[in-house]
Amino acid sequence: MTSAERPAAARCSSCEAVCCRLMVVLQPEESIPDHLTTYSPKGYRVMKRGEDGWCVAMNSVQMNCGIYETRPAVCRRFVMNGPYCRAIREDYSRDAAKALQESAR
């Protein structure tokens, strides 16, 4: 693959915070305000997500984390441009393109 064919590196500053659409399981010691959390069907305490699919702690104007300083451990470990980041961004782009095609029919 040439550098021209290689996809550009993922950068949070130009991403629609795709990782903030994933389920975020909280550790017992994490003190996230109750109104931002809920329980998964399996009984895990998780970050709540809105109807738009994003974590409710997102600042939807700036598209960044509204609780950045106290964000959950799993969010701190998520690596920009790591394999998981790139994979979920690809899925998200594919789904968005498909939705666009379907809406144009």
Contacts with ligand SF4, residue ranges (CB under 6 A): 10-12, 15, 17-20, 24, 47, 55, 57-58, 65, 67, 71-72, 75, 78, 80, 85, 88-89
Angstrom distance (rounded) from CA 43 to CA 54: 20
Shortest separation between residue 104's beta carbon and ligand SF4, angstroms:
26
How does DSSP classify residue 8?
P
Shortest distance in whole angstroms from residue 14 CB to ligand SF4: 8
- What is the smallest separation between the CB atom of 62 and ligand SF4, expressed in angstroms? 11
How far is the C-alpha of 103 from the C-alpha of 105, rounded, in Å?
6
Nearest to 32 by CA among 77, 76, 75, 67: 67
Q: Are 22 and 12 spatial neighbours (Cβ–Cβ below 8 Å)?
A: no
Smallest separation (angstroms) from ligand SF4 to the CB of 101: 23
Residue 39 · residue 31 · CB < 8 Å:
no
